[in-house]
């Protein structure tokens, strides 16, 4: 019921762009974006149930057009990890990610995952073969209880459903609370997650090629810690996929 009331309230009184805060309809006359991922973000989000749901757009078309798709994979500095982002990260994309994570806009997860799937180069998954699994970056129990959901898990679940790839939700566990990475410097981020992430289900990743899924990657400290745990459990390869990457 609480989710339903929020959805109705958003549709009636908050039909504004999450990035620029202008009315969404003010930019409807602009040309459609051309990039696949940006087109996905320009699609309406249905809130409600079944055919009676109401359509809304979290971003105006102007902001969708301003987002820059990330064309090629990148190497995370100081690590052997390859990251496959959907977008270059700017304030526009951050506003949507923050709405998902901190404003309890849980329904944005599937919408963001849609852009993730359409935005990533096809070979991000196609050269993995049948032994590929998606593994979301875990949250500690306290953070999960406060937020109510793990945004990385929601992204991985939607991606797995669309792409037909298995999602191993319990492959990794976060064993202790850590300070928010966004509040720390590069070296502090590395120290912050040391020993905080462990293998939860070794059999889920042993002999597998793993795509680690997160919403946002910056220094790669969390991703590196996850990759080390996955490698110790016998994962053949670990690469990272995310909505936004800000090196």
CB contact set of 185 (below 8 Å; sequence gap of 6+): none
Condensed to tens digits (0 to 9), the pLDDT of residues 2-32 reads 445 545 555 554 578 888 888 877 666 677 7
CA distance 11 to 54: 8
Q: With H, G, I as helix, E, B as strand and everything else as coil, classify residue 83.
A: strand
Report how far residue 170's alpha carbon sits from residue 77's, in angstroms, rounded to the nearest whole number: 28
Percent of the chain with pLDDT over 90: 25
Cα(170)–Cα(211) distance, integer angstroms: 14
Computed from CA positions of residues 53, 109, 127, 75, in that sequence, does the dihedral angle turn out positive or negative? positive
Q: Which residues are CB-neighbours of 193 under 8 A, at least 6 positions away?
A: 178, 181, 221, 222, 225
Residue 102: predicted pLDDT = 76
Res 5: pLDDT: 53
| 25 alpha carbon, distance to own chain's centre | 26
| Helix 91-102, helix 108-119: angle, nearest 10 | 140
Beta strands at 172-174 and 74-75: parallel, antiparallel or unpaired: unpaired
The helix (H) or strand (E) run that includes residue 245 is strand 237-245
Residue 89, token pair as written in the block: 């990260």
More confident residue, 211 or 147: 211
In the chain the first and final C-alpha atoms are separated, in Å, by 40
Rounded-to-integer distance, Cα 222 and Cα 233, Å:
17
What Rg, from alpha-carbon coordinates, does the chain have?
A: 18
Distance of CA 62 to the CA centre of its chain: 22
Q: Is the pLDDT of residue 37 over 50?
A: yes
pTM of the model: 0.84
- The per-residue pLDDT for range 89-115, each reduced to its tens digit, is 888 888 888 877 776 667 777 777 777
Mean of per-residue pLDDT scores for the chain: 81
DSSP letter for each residue of 174-240: E-S----GGGS-HHHHHHHHTTTEEES-GGGTTT-EEEEEEEEESS-HHHHHHHHHHHHTT-SEEEE
Instruction: Evaluate whether 19 touches 99 at the Cβ level (below 8 Å).
Output: no
pLDDT digits (tens, 9 = 90+) for 130-173: 789 999 999 988 888 888 888 899 889 988 888 888 999 999 99
């Amino acid at each position: 019921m609480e989710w339903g009331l929020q959805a109705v309230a958003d549709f009636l009184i908050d039909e504004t762009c999450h990035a620029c805060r202008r009315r969404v309809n003010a930019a409807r006359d602009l040309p459609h974006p051309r990039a696949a991922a940006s087109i996905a973000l320009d699609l309406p989000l249905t809130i409600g149930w079944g055919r009676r749901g109401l359509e809304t757009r979290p971003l105006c078309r102007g902001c969708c057009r301003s987002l820059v798709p990330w064309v090629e994979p990148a190497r995370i500095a100081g690590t052997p990890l390859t990251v496959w982002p959907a977008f270059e990260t700017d304030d526009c994309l951050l506003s949507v990610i923050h709405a998902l994570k901190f404003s309890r806009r849980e329904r944005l997860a599937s919408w963001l995952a849609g852009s993730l799937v359409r935005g990533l180069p096809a070979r991000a998954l196609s050269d993995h073969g049948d032994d590929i699994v998606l593994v979301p970056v875990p949250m500690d129990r306290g953070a999960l209880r406060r937020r109510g959901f793990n945004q990385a898990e929601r992204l991985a679940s939607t991606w797995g459903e669309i792409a037909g790839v298995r999602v191993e939700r319990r492959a990794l566990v976060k064993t202790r609370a850590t300070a928010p990475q966004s509040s720390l410097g590069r070296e502090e981020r590395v120290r912050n997650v040391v020993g905080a992430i462990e293998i939860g289900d070794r059999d889920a990743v042993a002999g597998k090629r793993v795509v680690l899924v997160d919403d946002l990657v910056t220094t790669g400290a969390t991703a590196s810690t996850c990759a080390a745990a996955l490698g110790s459990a016998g994962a053949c390869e670990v690469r990272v996929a995310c909505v936004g990457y800000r090196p």
